Chain A
Amino acid sequence: MSLSKSVAPVVAANADTPLRTKVLRRIRSRPTTRGAVILLGVFVLLAVLAPLIAPQNPHDLASLSVMDNRLEPGSRGMTGITYWLGTDAQGRDMLSAILYGLRTSLLVGLLSSAGALAIGIAAGLFAAQFGGAVDAAIMRVVDFMLGFPSILIALVLLASIGRGVDKVIIAIILVQWAQYARLMRAAALVERRKEYIEAAVNFGLPTPHIMLAHLLPNSVGSVLVVTTINIAGAITLEATLSFLGVGVPVTQPSLGLLIANGFEFLLSGEYWIAAFPGIALVLLIMSLNLVGDRLRRSFNVRT
């Protein structure tokens, strides 16, 4: 890399550059990150368009032909479709199953992260704004939650409320909100000591207005930056719970459940039932982590 090239972005990214431009520049500057962003876009597109592009509806048992079970990738089935990624034990086209599984995985990951983000931001904001007993109470709960491994909390919760897409989302929210709350509180505490907040207080602005219009937008940045990594965490957790058999129901299989279903056939050499959903899951998680890690490092947020 020549000197002028390495210096240029630093000079250009001064304080006046809009934040969005800076982030985009940082993402574009690394080929791996750029690749990960493109891959993520493709995944989201595939998940959204799954009903339109999937050769088969994997949830519609009538369209499946049991005669086509466990066919190798590329074989032609009784119904005339070519199974590019093979079929599973029920004769389901793996490509279609993966596209629909991607939908479930992304849905759970995004909804649970959004829920955890909302609760965590609210809790952190309240703790920072009111301090004292409110702060102590909220932070004790946060410490308590963070003291236990996430997988265990989620497992035990699902053991008592049963499996289901909505229940997995609740479990992941319960596991993840505390992390956001801690980050939000730390950022809001720093912000609260600044003069503009003091000025707003002296102006006599109502507390809810100060919290929502001033404190929230100025301290939420670091929390949003780690969200990408936490979406990856949520998707991993969902896949793990589904693999263990306590996650999403069999009628709406996610990538994790598809992998679990293929596990027994893996040992007998029918690799495609578990391997292809596995590759999709790993690529999804890796690209989210790559983008998230780059964002986190660009903004220098410590978790």
Chain B
Amino acid sequence: MTAYILQRLIQSVLVLLAVSIVVFLAVYGIGDPIELLVPPQVSAAERAAMIRRLGLDLPVWQQYLSFLGNALKGDLGRSFVHGVPAAGLILARLPATFELVLLAMSGAALIGVPLGLLAGLNPESRPSRAIMAGTILGFSLPSFWKGMMLVLLFSVALGWLPTAGRGETVSLFGIQTSLLTLDGIRHLILPALNLAIPNMALMVRLVAAGTTEAMTQDYVKYARAKGVRRKRIVGRHVLRNILIPVVTVAGMEFGSLVAFSTITETVFAWPGMGKLLIDSIYHLDRPVVVAYVMLATLLFVAVNFLVDVLYAALDPRVKLTGEMA
């Protein structure tokens, strides 16, 4: 187990290094780094001073090493627009994105698993076919379009929920959250639902396929022969077996939910990391974009690492010796 963890850890560090090189080359290699890193409105003297201070007169490899060294210390540059460290700016927006992602993920599981079970138990019935057809819509419709339709239906036409913003927040252990106020929750519902839909469709597909397959297994036949009630077979035996892949996929989708929240946050003007990324791209605030990429990569790599290790710990069939791969 230790060897496996170590191997995965080394792989993760290598991925992070590779991303740092790609990002470094993207910012410093393509185009003029001075133009990217020095705000255009400064004077010539200030400009020369900044070039020296940022080390832009040094050779490329030396610049990369100092970029890497600073990144390790948590310094990913300063935002041009806000004039504060970029990493801090992004981390301040983290709670807003995380509460959205967490709510979307739990919503996807709470709605997706029962629907998938329903569709998997009677795959030929009319409601099941409708559910499965719905998942195609859930997968393929563009996220921004679904978000707009939700706003049109629930905010404009019905007037039930607010169209945008985060609503009233309260401070919990120093972190602002919308989850504890009624107004905050009302603001959360639509963006969380929008973010959840593709994931929900994925859950339905996974659970339906798993259920249909599980119902033909010997342990189900045996339980049925023993006279166990259908409800108990499904709830106790089938559900438990299909939840393993569901949990894995939910974990792996965490990163893509954070990435896709960029779209949802833009549609609903939700002040999270994704909205910050889009705004920074608009304002050519490169340090924030670079910092976002590095932090997002760190997040993906960490989540993938955790999922792999947990999976290895939960499923004894995964080889732990580290000699595969």
Query: B-contacting residues of A (Cβ < 8 Å)?
Result: 144, 147-149, 151-152, 155-161, 232, 236, 239-240, 243-246, 256, 259-260, 263, 266-267, 269, 271, 274, 278, 281-282, 285-286, 289-290, 293
Contact = CB atoms under 8 A, between A and B. Distances in A.
A286 B259 CA distance: 23
B18 interface: yes
B15 A147 contact: yes
A152 to B, nearest CB: 4
Which of A151, A269, A290 lies at the interface centre, i.e. has the most chain B CB atoms within 10 A of its CB?
A: A151
Nearest to A239: B142
Nearest to B152: A266
Which of A156, A263, A285, A289 lies at the interface centre, i.e. has the most chain B CB atoms within 10 A of its CB?
A: A156
Interface stretch (B24-32, B45-53, B207-215, B230-238): B24-32
A267 B163 contact: yes
Contact of A149 (B155, B260, B267): B260
Given A159-B281, A245-B282, A278 B148 contact: yes
Which of B18, B142, B152 lies at the interface centre, i.e. has the most chain A CB atoms within 10 A of its CB?
A: B142
Nearest to A292: B140
B260 A151 contact: yes
A245 B278 contact: yes
A160 B29 CA distance: 11
Contacts, number: 102
The secondary structure that dominates the B interface is helix
B247 interface: no
A158 to B, nearest CB: 8
Contact of B144 (A147, A240, A269): A240
A158 B63 CA distance: 24
A148 B294 CA distance: 12
Contacts of A244: 144, 262-263, 266, 278
Nearest to A237: B142
Contacts of A148: 255, 259, 297, 300
Contact of B156 (A144, A260, A267): A267
Nearest to B281: A159
B151 A151 contact: no
Interface residues of B, number: 40
B219 interface: no
B156 to A, nearest CB: 6
Contacts of B144: 239-240, 243-244, 256, 259-260
B143 interface: yes
B320 to A, nearest CB: 21
Nearest to B263: A240
A285 B143 CA distance: 12
Contacts of B259: 148-149, 151-152
A160 B26 CA distance: 7
Contacts of A159: 281, 286, 289
A289 B140 contact: yes
Given A236-B140, A282-B145, A160 B31 contact: yes
Contact of B256 (A149, A267, A285): A149
Contact of B143 (A156, A240, A290): A240
Nearest to A277: B145
Contacts of A290: 136
Contact of A147 (B140, B293, B304): B304
Nearest to A158: B281
Contacts of A293: 136
A230 B267 CA distance: 25
A289 B145 contact: no
Interface string B143-176: 1110010011001100000010000000000000
Interface string B249-291: 0000001100110110011000000000110011000100100
Given A148-B300, A157-B26, A256-B144, 19 more contacts: A151-B260, A151-B263, A152-B262, A155-B281, A156-B289, A160-B26, A239-B144, A240-B144, A240-B263, A244-B263, A245-B278, A260-B144, A266-B156, A267-B155, A281-B145, A282-B141, A286-B140, A289-B136, A293-B136
A246 B281 contact: yes
A149 B255 contact: yes
B136 A266 contact: no
A142 B241 CA distance: 32
A269 B156 contact: yes
A266 B140 contact: no
Which of B26, B267, B281 lies at the interface centre, i.e. has the most chain A CB atoms within 10 A of its CB?
A: B281
B296 interface: yes
B18 A144 contact: yes
Contacts of B26: 156-157, 160
B293 to A, nearest CB: 5
Nearest to A268: B156
B148 A274 contact: yes
Contacts of A285: 140-142
A274 B137 CA distance: 19
A21 to B, nearest CB: 27
Contacts of B266: 243-244
Nearest to B30: A160
Contacts of A260: 144
Contacts of A281: 142, 145
A236 B143 CA distance: 9
Nearest to A232: B140
B87 to A, nearest CB: 16
A152 B140 contact: no
B262 A151 contact: yes
Nearest to B282: A245
Closest 8 CB pairs of A and B: A149-B259, A149-B256, A152-B259, A159-B281, A289-B140, A243-B144, A236-B142, A160-B26
A156 B141 contact: no
A161 B289 CA distance: 13
